[in-house]
Amino acid sequence: MTAPILTTPRLRIPRIGLGTWALRGAEAQRAVESAIGLSYRHIDTAAMYGNEDAVGAGIAACGLPRSEIFLTTKVWWTELAPDALRASAEASLKRLGTPYADLVLIHWPSKGMDLAASLGALAMLQADGLARAVGVSNFPPGLLKRALDLGIAPIAALQVECHVYLWQEQLAALCRQHGLALTAYSPIAKARVNDDPVLQGIAAKHGATPVQVALAWLLAQENLVAIPKSGRPEGQRDNLAAAALRLDAADLAAIAALPKDRRLVNPDFAPDWAA
């Protein structure tokens, strides 16, 4: 089984990818090799994860042409001045062992960032062939709208925390309006979905797992991509199989009734989410 492909005006991206946050060293490399062996074609990493060398080694070991893997990496919020952003991206590519990334994102906004300058540096990465597409992550609605309105970088994607307990409609609406892919990180709410009686009931009805139900709900949303992390082949296989699960109207209504304001990732450098 392979993940379905989302096609937008600026990129083609598999709708289920492998998140690699917290995977390190040999574990990260094994996870990437396993996922690709199971037909994953989308791998997500970041400079801050400290695993780009292992992710790159896993991709290289799979033996597939580089063009068959969609690879995302990200520039940390302390490196957003143009020269620093460029240097960070180049260092990421060196660690990954690839001449380009399919998507390079600003990982988090900085409170003191020069937005126009940072977007200009992103645009240059794409113009120079270091990134096939560029985008942002963890931008609140107001900041994302400012970035889009500036028109400096051809923003193709937004990556944010998104799951059955956190649906960000303002951001989703901006992504729909501008043709952006919306990538959901922490898509199974750090495994909290496993203990949810609503999801357990829906899972039992379909012969699935609560994790698969949570992922299927995300994939039922427009322009949405999910990047669940799993270092185990069994978990990776189950996550990929969620793409084939079709929830009915009753399922969707039950999930819609769950609270949608449970943010699980909120570091001290996070932006004002309401801005």
- Report how far residue 231's alpha carbon sits from residue 31's, in angstroms, rounded to the nearest whole number: 5
Whats the size of the chain, residue-wise? 275
What does the CA dihedral 240, 155, 144, 228 come to, rounded to 10 degrees?
A: 10
DSSP-derived 3-state class of residue 48: helix
The tokens of 272 are what? 């004002």
CA nearest neighbour of 263 among 150, 160, 158, 116: 160
CA nearest neighbour of 82 among 132, 111, 125: 125
Please pick, among 40, 49, 100, 185, the residue that the annotation labels catalytic: 49
Q: Is 185 a catalytic residue?
A: no
The tokens of 143 are what? 């900041």
Query: What are residue 72's phi and psi, to 5 degrees?
Result: -110, 135
Catalytic residues: 49
